[in-house]
Structures are given as C-alpha cells and as structure tokens.
Structure 1
Amino acid sequence: MPDETTDTTAVAEQRIAALAAAHPWVSEARLTPDGVLLVTPHPRATAALPTPGPLVGEHLAHWEEVYEWTYETAEGRHAGDLDLSGWRASDTGEPLPTAHMRDWVDRTVGLVLAQGPNRLLELGCGTGLLAHRLAPRLEGYVGTDVAAVAVDRLSGAGLPRAAFVRAAAHETETPPVRQAMEQVFGAGVRPDCVLLNSVTQCFPDLAYLSAFLHSALTVVEDGGTVIVGDIRHAGLLEDHFGRVERARDPEAADADIAARVASAVAEDRELSFAPAAVQRILAAHSRTVRMSVHARTMAYDSELTRYRYDLVLHVGPAPGTAAVSETRQLPWPGRGSEPLAVLLRKALSAGPVVLHGIPNALLTDAPDAVTPHDLRQALTGTDAAVLLDAGDPRMLAVAAPADRATAATARSLRAPVGRLAHEPLPAFVQRRLPEVLRDHLRRTQPGTVLPRIVVDDAPKGAVR
C-alpha cells in the first residue's frame, strides 16, 4: 500500500518546483533525487540590453547604494575639489595617501587633455575629482553619476560650461543626458570625448561592459575618443590578492596563501578584464576603432599603480601618416650602463617607433626592469607615451610620437596571455536568486518546508 506521507511530500515538492519555475527570473527548475531544487536563471533576468535585467539591476543598485552612502558621509573630503571618500588600500583598509591621489588625478587629467578634447561627457563623475580640473579647460563638460548627492553637490559648484545629470553608465542616450548635452554643447552637437574613469569595477560582467562601450561609441563624434580609465587587470588578480593576503599574514605558509588567494579571486565582487576582452567587443562594432593601452605612471607604489591601466579608444581611421605599418617595432635593449633618459633618446630617435618588451619593475624582479614612473620621468619633454603591453600586463612599452600608441596594441594583442576577465555577476546570481525564490515561496506556500535552492547555470558572461 503506498505511503500517503511520502506521496503527499512528493506532490508538495513538485508544487514547489512548479512555482519556482513560474517565477519570471527563472527559466527552469527541477528537483534532484537528493531533494535539491536546481534553478536556471532566465536570460532576461541577467540581460544587459536593451535594458538591464532585474538581477543585473540589483547588482548595479548595490553599488549605487555604496557610493550614495560613501559620498554622503564624505569622510575623505579635504576640499570642495578634493573629495577622496572611498579611496582606501585593499591590504590595510587605510585611506590612500593624499599626495598619491593628487598624482593619480594629475595623470588622469593629463591623459584626457592629451587627446585634445573640446566637449567631454564623463560617465560616473563621482565627487568631481576630474570635473573640477577638466571643465574650466573645455568648451563644454557634462557629467553623470548614479549618486544623487554627488550630482547635487557638483551642480551647485558653479563649474563653467558644465551640467550634471543623475544617470548610470549605460544611459548615455537617455533624454536627460541628451538634454544636458544640448544645453552645454549645442543642439545636435555630440561630445568629442566620452570618459569613464574608475567605474568599470562596479560593472556586473562583460555583457554590460559591451553595452556601455557600444553606447559610448555611438554617441561620440567621429575622430573623437572614448577613454576608459583605472581598469582592474584580470591577469594580475593573483598577484594582487597574493600581496593582500601576505600583508595580512606575513608568517603563513605559501600553500595557505595560495589557497586564500584562489578563494579571494573566486569571491571577488568587482569586474576586472584584460585589453583583449575589449578588443573582442570592438570587433563587433560598426565604427573603426583603434585602441591604445596606457600604464599608470604615478610615483607611489600602490595597487592603483601596479594593477590598473587606461584604455583610449580612437574612433575613426587613423589620420594622415599615423599608420601602424609605418611604425618601427623595436625590442627593449636592456638598461646597460647609460642613464635611462639617454638610452630612451637613442632608441626612439629613428622615427616613429614602439619600444616593447620592457619588464615592469613593480611586478617583476628582472634585472632590466623599469617602473612606469621612471619611464615617464626619463621621457620628460618628449612626445612619447608610456604604455602597458596589451598582451602581457607585466611588460611595458613606449611609443614615440605618442600618437603611435595604437601600433603597440596591434602588435602585443597577437598572443594575449592570462585570464580574459573576472566577472562578478555569476557569483552574485548564485547568492541572490535563491534568496529571492525563498522569499517568493514562503509567501505563496506558508508553512511549507522548502528544499535547498541552488543555481544550476549562473550566467558565465559573454562578449556581445
């Protein structure tokens, strides 16, 4: 005779699975033989386009709340144009040195101005570290941010020829942003530079990065630039977390540190990616885009100098003679006995040239290694750019003149090494979707004992 209790339990479990499968964030739900409810997220819940799906939206909302609180407390506010709130070292948790952050700001401003912009749209302007320094030097500046407190403060700062709008990075083409650009730039006039600095770490995955890039490339004027700055490099995550864990526990065994690093990388809640990931995204865009990869050249050795880089996307074909084929590619000859400035002057004297294969002394102890800052200092007064090797983040390069930087990228991306990206969205979905479903099932089936809920196929992220 059938066990009525077992039969009733089976019916209840099937009802629970059916209710979970009917949730709009779920495409499939099934019970395993051991009673685990496996659920697959619906593609619309994790979509980046045409608008962010609900799980992507929740990920973005988390960061919005973080920065709203950070800017509201303003614990790092030194002056109206120098609010360093939120800028802390990962290993100590202490605020990064003010002098270092001033250097960080100066280097970023210098990179932007080197592109010769007149009308700039900055997405994620934050406390205005860049806006205060760029707006007075441009014909027009429009800044957006998700934090209302930041937008309100900057709107009241009285910056010339500037406007500020509350909007997310993917909302470049929304009416409020378009209206602000028309107000500042003129009717029908587009920006010749779109800037996104120190924001991509808050993105959920490469699909959202792709949505942002396609939007930015659509809005920018032909011949202009899209600058994506202060990017966390996916290929250096192990080095970064290794230093953090070693700083926390100097006496730990190497095997213990390695295990902690693997766990920290897997649980990292910020996006990081290599230049090759962006190159794949750009290949699907209809406009001609050339990319240069720039090293961070601050004097102080911190995670901002070691593990981050800048991208400049040049929209449109190369003007005049600035062709990749006309640029000589020379290997690093080594330090030798000559002063670095003399060595560089000789190496770069033979016309348009990219000097590649320079070991980065912040990341390797190779005998011929040089820091990005030392390269910048040695190149003072010359028309040259200090670059990061687009394929190997432990190597640097120098392009002279600076407008040949894209030639270095073309060479070094032929065989990229290391991880393409680390995307936080899959882990976020694995945490969040079971929470949402448990709340949903408790409301619809009060008093029912719920099975353990596991995400069967969290989104892996894709370049679209």
Structure 2
Amino acid sequence: MSALDPAISGSATAEGPTDGQAKGPAEGPAEGTAERTTEGTAVQGSPAENPDLARIVDSFPGVDRSVVLADEHRSDGRRSWTAYVLPRRNEAVTDDGAALEQSYVEEWRGVFDHVYGASAPGDATFDTRGWQSSYTGAEVDDADMRAWTDDTVERIQALGGRRLLEIGCGTGLLLHRLHADAERYTASDITAGAMTRIRDAFGGTLPEGVELFQAPADDLSPVPPGSVDGVILNSVSQYLPDEPYLDRVLRQAVDVLDDGGFLFVGDVRSAALNRAFAAGIELARAPGGAPAEKVQTLAERRCGMGTELLVDPGYFTDLAAALPRVAHVAVLPKRGRSDTEMTRYRYDVVIRLDRIPGGAAPAIEWTPWAERRPDAAEVRRILVEERPESLGLLDVPNSRTAADHAAAELLARPDGPATAEEALKAARAAVGRTVDPEDLFALGDELPYAVRLSWARSQPDGGYDVAIVRSAPDGGPAPEPRFPSEPAPPRRHVNAPWFSRVEHLNLAKLRAHVRERLDGQEMPGRFVVLESLPFAADGSVDRDALRTIHWA
C-alpha cells in the first residue's frame, strides 16, 4: 500500500475533493430480484437517439460533440435520456497524450513525497496519514484502518508464499506485518521517502531477508524472472494512469513469478460501482434541502472527471485469455464490518498461475438468490442440517451498496425526487431484503466449509455470487469454484483518469445551458463526460459502445 505506483492505501488525502483516495494534481440481470432497481433499455419501436437534444448540448462552448441516447422506459411511457459528452480538448491532450500519462505518474510521486516528508507518527509501522473519508473529509478512524489492514494481511497470508514482492509498498503497512513469515520480502516504491521511512522504522538496518528498491510500478527490472512466488499490488492500481500501464505492471509481475505463484491485486476501485459510490458521497455531503439536480451534477462531475483509475472486474476475468499462465482468477469483495468506502466499494483479486493449489471444485448447481431469498442464518441452517457438498447462490443483493445504487438511479430521473433528503428516503425505501457479505464470509470461520464470494459479473448494484464448498478433510487447500463471469453487463473495463487533469467542462453551466434551450423536450437525466468517442468500422459513432461506459 503506498503511493501512486506506491499508493497510499485507503480513502482520500487532504489535497482537495476526493474520489476516496489520496488526491493529487453467467446469468443476466438478477432473476426475480424485484427489490433491485434496474437499468432499462430503449422502448422497442421508438427512437433510441435524440439528435435535437444533441444539437442543444453541442451548442455549449465547452462541448466538442455529443450523442443523446434513450436510457429508461419509464412507467408513464415516457423516456429518459443520457447525454454522452466529448469536451473540447486542449492541445496537450490531442498532441501528446503519452507525455500526460508520464506527467500523471510524476504528479502522484510528488504528492506522496510530500506526504512522506512529514514527521513520522508515533508507531512507524502503522502510518495511515492521508487516509480521509470521501464522505466526511475526516481521517478514517484508527480502529477501521487497523481492521482493514488486518483483513488484508490475513487474506494474503492464506495464499502461502515465502518469497514475496510488494509493488508500491509505501511506508510498509503490509511489509511490517508480513516479512517475518517470509523467507525473502522484496518491496519497491516510486518515492525515496517511503524507502527512508521503512529503514528508519527498523532502526536504520533492514532485517535479514528484507530488500528495498526505488522504482515506478512498471519497472521490475531489479527482480529476476521466476524469483518470487507471490506478488502483492495493494491499493496501488488507482494511482496508475491508464489500462496500458496496468497491463505492463501485471505482465511484468507474471514474468517474475515462479511456477505456481500468485498475484494479489488489492483494494481496487470498482468501475462498475462508481456511479453508486459517487451518488452516496454527494448525498452524504449535501444539505437535506439541496436540489436533487445539483446533487446529480456533482455526482456526474465526480464520475466523469475523477483523477483515479477505475477497473471493472471484467478486466481481471479476461486475463485468462490474455496471459496463458493464468489458471484461476478470483474477484473478492472486501471482508470486514467497518462501514468505510474501502469495505463497501473496493475489491481484491487473486490470480493463480499455472495451477490451482486445491484443484477446481466439482461443478456447482447455481440457484438465483431470489428463488429462496435466504439470509445468512438460513444458509447456516442448510449447511449444518443438510450438509451439502456445495451450495451456489447467484445475485445476492448487497446491503453495503444497494441504497447508494438506488439513489444513483433516482437522481438520474428527471421526474425523480426534488431534494437530497427526498432522494435518500426514496432510495432507502426502494431497497428490499439484502445480505451483508461479511455475514456469509463468517460462516467459513466456524463451519467446515470454504466460503467464496465473487464480484466477477460486476453488477452495478454490488450484487454478488456465493459458492460454498466443503473443506478438504486433510486440512489442505479447499478446491476453488468456477464462478460464472458471463453474461455480465457490457462494460468498458478501465477509464483514463489523466484526461481529467486537462478538462474544465462545467457540468452545472452545461445543464443550465441545455435547460434554457429546451422546447418542450425532456431534460437529459444524466450527462456522461467522455474521454473519447468510440467509432464503428464504418466510421460512425458506436452507440452500443457508449452504453458500456458505466463508471460515469
């Protein structure tokens, strides 16, 4: 956990408005889950595009081009619209995007050099400065940070591994808790200050087996190929500039891993859940009487102009096709009871190379959760009394995220609630029965079963799948279930946050501009700021590709 590459892990730092972090320059939609709001589609037989609205949007000085598409079929038979907006680019973006990518990396280096340059805390092994809640702006409570750290350490320790490499180690939050059980612990960070902090915490001399080197995340040249059996990249991905950079990091990580090794990518910001997260933040910050449209505008700005990398789980599930050594990919919601954005909205990924230690579990019979709607107590009863070899549940509604998702959908409706307070009440009322992921995880702590939860299908409301398999009788690794990853909602996997460094589109002024020029037409419910327009083979704008952008 550290900065940029070296990411500070956690939520936001004190450098201005945050996106939840240190701030610097096989089933379709849930079957039968009536309590979950859904993303609608165009009414069959009706126009799915509104060129008249697009012309109004295009007339705003800061807009280069827009496409306005139908979003929802409403109960009153009318339609909601989403405006996909490409801002006018300045020369820096159009002429030298590669330089901007590198500038993004260097800016994060500067942020964390500043953070690590301050005086060390009393406990140098637990340095969590810069971790602030995106909801309140206050520092995340020490107890919540310790719980988050302990859960992460426990998840990594369960993977085994005696020769570990941590990319982006920061001040050693994980290193101090993992190195004693390792034969060798090598750690890198982009900042010299992080290296100094770790050495100072050990009294100036590193323990035997601990090695450090300073480098960005995409430079693992000091590590020989096949020399480690575990690579840790925790709370780092959000500080990388784009998908090609992330690709380079993971490919190099695979190269340094020995046969049968693992890659742990922790605390990843979910592109699939970004709209829900942004709506929850802005509603938490807004006065109760704030106009709902203003809250929606702020949420749109947070989504479309954020400065951190968002990664859809589909990026990781696709790695098996991209990297031949990948044997298994697990996309895991975070464990824990703390009500923080890390627990609610981040996820971990475990990538096993070459083989699965416990082998693959026999085929699981998957049942939509909505058929029986069991809570954790009922699942426990089934395991204790019926003693099945396995149990699989699809699309379990998530108590951590359901209300924020409902709020995001309500705010995007032109006929939705008028104020922030009304939106909050309506969102809470729209949520039916849900299950806390930790209630199910905890069953594996007391019963002879391995409990696995998955976000592989990246549902926008945070719904998850559950596989429970009987533990190995000899106490060895439990077999790993194969979760369905398709069909999942179409997704573009990764954003490019460095675009936002040069965007100055004022969404509040854009909305006012459009509203003043409406002539009996309905206001778009959402404005999605684009990094680029997707084009089809014939040169036309690819409307279907636009609909895959779900982080904004």
Q: Could you state the TM-score of these two structures normalised by the residue count of structure 2? A: 0.63
User: Are 1:250 and 2:279 an aligned pair?
Assistant: no
Check the 8 A contact 2:226/2:257 in 1, yes or no: no
Equivalent of 2:493, from 396, 415, 420?
420
Q: Distance in 2 between matches of 1:104 and 1:380?
A: 17
Residue aligned with 1:93, SS: coil
Partner of 1:398: 466
In structure 1, what residue type is equivalent to 2:102? G
Partner of 1:239: 276
- Aligned pairs for 1:30-179 (under 5 A) are 39=91, 45-46=96-97, 53-74=98-119, 77-156=121-200, 157=202, 158-172=206-220, 174-175=221-222, 177-178=223-224
- Aligned pairs for 1:321-336 (under 5 A) are 322-323=359-360, 326-332=363-369, 334=372
Quote the offset at 1:147 in angstroms.
1.5
Quote the offset at 1:386 in angstroms.
4.1
CA deviations over 1:316-354 (Å, ceiling 9, x no partner)? 13357x336534434436555883562362599322444
- Aligned pairs for 1:365-380 (under 5 A) are 366-380=431-445
Q: 1:397 to 1:152 in 2, by over 3 A?
A: same
User: Are 1:192 and 2:192 an aligned pair?
Assistant: no
Q: 1:377 to 1:292 in 2, by over 3 A?
A: same
Q: Distance in 2 between matches of 1:147 and 1:338?
A: 44
- Aligned pairs for 1:268-287 (under 5 A) are 268-287=306-325
Check the 8 A contact 1:235/1:419 in 2, yes or no: no
Partner of 2:450: 384
Q: 1:429 to 1:170 in 2, by over 3 A?
A: farther
Residue aligned with 2:339, SS: coil
Check the 8 A contact 1:348/1:400 in 2, yes or no: no
Quote the offset at 1:235 in angstroms.
1.3
Check the 8 A contact 1:385/1:398 in 2, yes or no: yes
Q: Distance in 1 between matches of 2:347 and 2:325?
A: 24
Q: Distance in 1 between matches of 2:479 and 2:226?
A: 28
Q: 1:329 to 1:316 in 2, by over 3 A?
A: farther
* Structure 1 residue ranges without an equivalent (≥5): 1-31, 47-52, 179-187, 432-456
Check the 8 A contact 2:164/2:186 in 1, yes or no: yes
Q: Distance in 2 between matches of 1:197 and 1:460?
A: 32
Q: Distance in 2 between matches of 1:385 and 1:416?
A: 25
In structure 1, what residue type is equivalent to 2:500? A
In structure 2, what residue type is equivalent to 1:387? L
Q: Distance in 2 between matches of 1:61 and 1:282?
A: 31
Partner of 1:356: 394
Q: Distance in 1 between matches of 2:443 and 2:270?
A: 25
Q: Distance in 1 between matches of 2:360 and 2:334?
A: 25
Check the 8 A contact 1:194/1:226 in 2, yes or no: yes
Quote the offset at 1:74 in angstroms.
4.9
Q: Distance in 2 between matches of 1:167 and 1:460?
A: 34
Q: Distance in 1 between matches of 2:464 and 2:119?
A: 36
In structure 1, what residue type is equivalent to 2:436? T
Q: 1:331 to 1:405 in 2, by over 3 A?
A: farther
* 108-117 vs 153-162, greater mean Cα deviation: 153-162
Q: Distance in 1 between matches of 2:263 and 2:294?
A: 42
Residue aligned with 2:251, SS: helix
Q: Distance in 2 between matches of 1:423 and 1:406?
A: 33
Residue aligned with 1:298, SS: coil
CA deviations over 1:399-436 (Å, ceiling 9, x no partner)? 3347555512xx034324555333203333668xxxxx
User: Are 1:224 and 2:246 an aligned pair?
Assistant: no
Q: Distance in 2 between matches of 1:37 and 1:389?
A: 35
Equivalent of 2:482, from 395, 399, 407?
407
Residue aligned with 2:297, SS: helix
In structure 2, what residue type is equivalent to 1:372? P
CA deviations over 1:105-142 (Å, ceiling 9, x no partner)? 11111111111111110001111111011000111111
Residue aligned with 2:466, SS: strand
Q: 1:67 to 1:371 in 2, by over 3 A?
A: same
Q: Distance in 1 between matches of 2:227 and 2:284?
A: 47
Higher relative contact order (CA 8 A, sep 6+): 2
Q: 1:239 to 1:405 in 2, by over 3 A?
A: farther
Residue aligned with 2:252, SS: helix
Check the 8 A contact 1:296/1:310 in 2, yes or no: yes
Partner of 2:516: none
Q: Distance in 2 between matches of 1:319 and 1:386?
A: 15
- Aligned pairs for 1:282-297 (under 5 A) are 282-297=320-335
What is the CA RMSD across the aligned residues, in angstroms? 3.1
- Tell me which protein shows more helix as a share of its residues: 1
Check the 8 A contact 2:307/2:497 in 1, yes or no: yes
Q: 1:74 to 1:398 in 2, by over 3 A?
A: farther
Quote the offset at 1:381 in angstroms.
2.9
Partner of 2:510: none
Check the 8 A contact 2:116/2:197 in 1, yes or no: no
CA deviations over 1:253-291 (Å, ceiling 9, x no partner)? 222211211111111000011110223344222323320
Give the percent of matched residue pairs that are identical in Structure 1 and Structure 2.
30
CA deviations over 1:86-121 (Å, ceiling 9, x no partner)? 111012111101111111111111111111111110
CA deviations over 1:53-105 (Å, ceiling 9, x no partner)? 43221110111111111122257x34021111111101211110111111111
Higher Cα radius of gyration: 1
In structure 1, what residue type is equivalent to 2:213? V
Residue aligned with 1:318, SS: coil
Q: Distance in 1 between matches of 2:190 and 2:377?
A: 48
Q: 1:306 to 1:428 in 2, by over 3 A?
A: same
Check the 8 A contact 1:347/1:355 in 2, yes or no: no
Quote the offset at 1:153 in angstroms.
2.1
Check the 8 A contact 1:72/1:149 in 2, yes or no: yes
Q: 1:134 to 1:200 in 2, by over 3 A?
A: same
Q: Could you state the TM-score of these two structures normalised by the residue count of structure 1? A: 0.74
Q: Distance in 1 between matches of 2:260 and 2:442?
A: 30
Check the 8 A contact 1:399/1:405 in 2, yes or no: no
* 214-223 vs 347-356, greater mean Cα deviation: 347-356
Partner of 1:201: 238
